[in-house]
Amino acid sequence: MNAPVDYLLHLADNALILGQRNAEWCGHGPILEEDIALSNNSLDLIGQARMLYQHAAEQIGNGATEDTLAYFRDVPDFRNYTLCELPHMPLMAATSKGDRDFAMTIVRNFLYSSLMVLVWDQLQNSKDTQLAAIAAKSLKEVRYHLRHSRDWLLRLGDGTDASHAKAQAALDQLLPYCQEFWTTSPQEAAALANGTGIDMATLQADWNQIVDEALQEATLKRPAAGGFVPTGKQGLHSEHLGFVLAEMQSLARQHPGATW
């Protein structure tokens, strides 16, 4: 039994786009050790994306490979959460430049990892045995990502006035994007129906608990998440994804088939 291709792409695109975003810190980390830690995180995510793309490409056939899926699809084809594509800075129009904000990076990694420890844990029981194996491997990686981001969240939140303010601002900005986790996309419904996916609604209480416990320890206040519900996983993205893809895909598109 195979998971629906769009469902695999949803999981893969989340990992690839967040991996690409975290890779933007490479060479720019606040300290050397953190620079390496974020690159490690990024490589874990890109590794997850590769396995999922390879699995999807086998089903698509027709010459599809992990590379065609990563580098030759456009914005509406991507199925990632909008959360994963946002820049590491307070939200602004797509072409404006701002300083990369470490608190945004940490809060996003925390919110995403808190979800994915639950998702990968459940997907170990997927009827798609290859997806189940990918889930088992990814679970170990994301447990460390959660540990790393949670640890920094506590240090920033319960740190100085300045670090607390930045962590709170990042949380206020990013938490509403998590509403997308609990909506149902066609690919999630299809995966749930054939026993390869999971019912996201059943994870919400556990996710809330992981988030609330950490926020309390970090002395951060959980903002009311309401208003706009993002639709990235259905292919309707923010203006930011196009810029991520332009940077990520330009080399492969200028030199198709290039190898080291």
Which residue ranges make up the site for other proteins (CB under 8 A)?
31-34, 36-37, 40, 144, 147-148, 151, 155, 158-162, 164
Residues 219 and 228: their CA atoms lie apart, in Å, by: 26
CB 181 within 8 A of CB 81: yes
- Give me the least distance between CB of 23 and other proteins, in Å please: 15
Q: How far is the CB of 221 from other proteins (least distance, A)?
A: 15
**Closer Cβ to other proteins, 75 or 154, answer by number:** 154
> Shortest Cβ distance from residue 237 to other proteins (Å)?
31
Residue 44 beta carbon to other proteins: minimum distance, rounded to whole angstroms: 10
Kindly report the length of the chain: 260
Which residues does 11 contact at the CB level (< 8 Å), separation at least 6?
Answer: 48, 52, 119
Output the smallest distance, CB 138 to other proteins, in A: 17
Contact 165, 90 (CB under 8 A): no
Report the C-alpha gap between 33 and 12 in whole angstroms: 27
Please, which residue, 148 or 233, has the CB nearer to other proteins?
148
Residue closer to other proteins (CB basis): 73 or 155: 155
Q: Which is nearer to other proteins, 165 or 246 (CB)?
A: 165
**CB-wise, 162 or 225, nearer to other proteins?**
162
Q: How far is the CB of 31 from other proteins (least distance, A)?
A: 7
Least distance to other proteins from the beta carbon of 117, Å? 17
**Nearer Cβ to other proteins, position 40 or 249?**
40
CB-count exposure of residue 142 (10 Å: 0-12, 13-18, 19+) = buried
State both tokens at 1. Answer: 């039994």
Residue 41 or 185 having the CB closest to other proteins: 41
Start-to-end Cα distance in the chain:
36
Alpha-carbon span 188 to 168, nearest angstrom: 31
Helix axes 5-23, 32-60, angle to 10 degrees: 160
CA distances from 140 to 57, 117, 259 (A): 24, 8, 30
